[in-house]
Structure 1
Amino acid sequence: MLILDEMQSRGHEALTLLHHAPSGLRAALAIHSTVLGPAIAGVRLREQDEALAVRGALALSESLTLKAALAGLNYGGGACVLMMPEAGVEDPHAREALFRALGRQVQPLASRVVLTEDIGVTPADIAFVAQETPSTLGMNTDTSSITGYGVYRGMKAAARYALGSESMRGVRVAVLGVGAVGRTLAAHLHREGARLTIADERPERAVALADELDGAVVTGPQEILDTPCDILAPCGYGHSIRSQEVSRLQCRLIAGGEHHPLSRQGEDAVKEAGIVYMPDYAINAAGLIAAATGVDATQAAERVYQTVARIISTAEQYAKAPHVVARRMAERRIDLIGSLGRA
C-alpha cells in the first residue's frame, strides 16, 4: 500500500506512528478530518502487524468522520490502532504504562484529537490515558453495550425498508462476531424472538453465547456467509465481507456494528446483488453519541433509529441505495458546516 496515495484518495489530514520502547507502545494514529471539530479517535488494541495497523487506522478514521457527521456531532474522525506489545498487557502495571505512554505521546495533538475506547480497550484504559492528556471521552460510558443496543434499534428501522416490517420476531439474523457489541445485539434480538445463527473467530466465545441464548445455532466465521438469513450482522474487526464473497451471501439486509465490513468495491457488489446495506457509520453510532453528549443508552439509540429512518426515507424518495444516501448526507453536513469557516 502506498500510504500517501491512500491518504490522498480518502482525504486524510495526518498519519502519525507512535513509539515508546519501555512500555511497548507501537501505534498508528490517523486523523481523517477536523472540519467539524477535533477528531474523535477510537483506540483499538489487538495482535496485528504494522501494515494492518496503518490500514485499519486509515479506514476506521474515515468511518468516524462520517459517523460523527451523520450523528450531528461537532467532531471529526480519527483512529488509533495499537499493536499488542510482545510482553502482552496481562500485568496491570504494564497496561497502565502502555496507555499512559499513549496519552503522553498524544498530548501535543490535544487540540486536534480526542481518544475514546474501541475494540480491546476499556474505560479504565482511557482513564490511564486521561492522566496524561485531557483529550479523552468515554471513561464513564459503557460504549460497547450502548453501541450494541443502538445497532439493534437501527436494524429495526432498516428492516422496515428491506423486509417490510421492523419486527424481529421470527426473522433470521446471522451475527458474525460476538464480542461486546455482537453479544449485546444478539441478546436484544433473542429477547424479541429472532432466529439466531452466530459465529466468531474464537469459536468458544460463540458456543458460550449460544448456551445463554436458547435456540441460537453456532457455525464458523466463513460458513456464516453461506447461511440463508434475512439479515447479516457483521460485528467483527473490519472487512469481514470481501467483495469476491458477496455472491455467496443469502441475506436481504446487511446491518451490524462492525466498522467498514465492506470495501467501496464491496458496497458496489452488494448493490448489484440487490442486498440492502446500512453502513456502519449510520448504525453503530450510539456509543459515540453517548460518550460525546452524555445522553443515556435509550436516547443515544433513539438518535440512531431516527438517523436510519431518515436515510431510508430519502432512499425511497430518490430511489437510491441507502448506503449511497448515508454517505452523501454525512458529506453534505461536512461541506455545509465546513463552509462557515471559509465565509
Structure 2
Amino acid sequence: MRALLARYPRLAETLPWVDLGVRQTPVEWWRVGETTLLAKRDDLSASTLGGNKVRALELLLAGVQPGHRLLTVGPTGSTHALAVAAHGALLGARTRVITWPQEGHAIADATGRRLRELADVTAARSVAEAYLLAAVRRLAGGPRWIPAGGSVPLGALGHVDAALELAEQLTSMRLPRPDLVVAPLGSGGTVAGLLAGLAVAELPMRVVGVRVVPRVVATRRRVLRLAARTHALLGRLAGATLPPLDVGALEIEQEHYGGAYGRETSAGQTAATALADAGGPRLDGTYSAKAFGVALERARLVPDERVLFWLTFDARWLTRGNIMPKVPRPDPSPSSR
C-alpha cells in the first residue's frame, strides 16, 4: 500500500489494511530469443507466497485475528484459495475452501495438494453447487467471506497501488513508458485494478487482459464495471477528484483460452518453455503461460511497440520446500463433513 498511501495520505485513516509483507517488485528487461520486452515480477510480491493475490488480501484480510475462520471458493487448483489459506494462516486464521472441478496439469495438481494441506477443503460438483454451499455457510454465520479471486473493488485497490508503484519505477529507473501491459484475465481484479491505477497515475497505456476463463465470466462490461467501482471507491476514501478512467484502454484477448479453465495451450507452453530456456521463472499453464504467450507474440509482431508482461504467478514454493505454515487438520476430516 506504500504507493497508494504516499499519493493519498488520507487513506491512512480511511482504508484499513494488514501488512502481509508485500514489497515493491522488480521491473526487468527480458530477452527471449530475439525478442525483448519488460516484465513486472509480481511473483516476488511477498517472501512467503507472492503473486497477484496477496495484493488484494492485504485489504480483504484487514482485521483478521487468531482464531478467525475464513471462507472462499475456487477451482481445485486455485491460486487465490491457496493465497487465502497461506496468508490467513500467518494471521492465525483457519480457511475453508469450497472447490469445483477443473482440468488438471502438473502445477494445478500441486496447488490442489498444497491447498488441502493448508485449508479445510469441501469438494463441490460444480461452480453453482460451490456457491450454494458457501451461501449456506455464510447464512449460518461465523466465517468471514473472501470473494472468489479477491475481485471486488476493495481487493482491486491492491492493483491500483501496483500501478502507482510501476509509475514510480518507470521514472526512477528511467525506463521507456510501455505501450501496453499484458496480464491474465480471470475474475478480473488484477486487470480492473491496473486499469484504474494507470488512470490515476495518468499513464496512457493499454491494458491487455488475456482471457483464461469462460467468456461469460470475463466480459468487457464486467471488467469495466469493476474498474469504475474501484476508481469510485478510491475517490471516496481519498477524498479526492481522480483523473478519469479511460475505458478505451482495455483490450481483451479472446483467442488463448484453450476451451476450458486450466487447459494448457500449445502457444502458452511454447512461450513458457522459451522463457525457461532463457533463464526466466517458471510459468503456470492456467494463467501466466497464456498471458506471456500473448506478450511475446505482441513484442515480436510489432517491434516498435513496447510491451510489459505482468507476471502474476509465484512458482518458488514448488521448488524450495514447505515455506507456508501448516494448519492443523480438523477432526473429523473435511471430506466427512
TM range (shorter): 0.3 to 0.5
Q: Give the TM-score of the pair, scaled to structure 1.
A: 0.36
Q: Give the TM-score of the pair, scaled to structure 2.
A: 0.37
Give the number of the structure with larger relative contact order, counting CA–CA contacts within 8 Å between residues 6 or more apart: 2
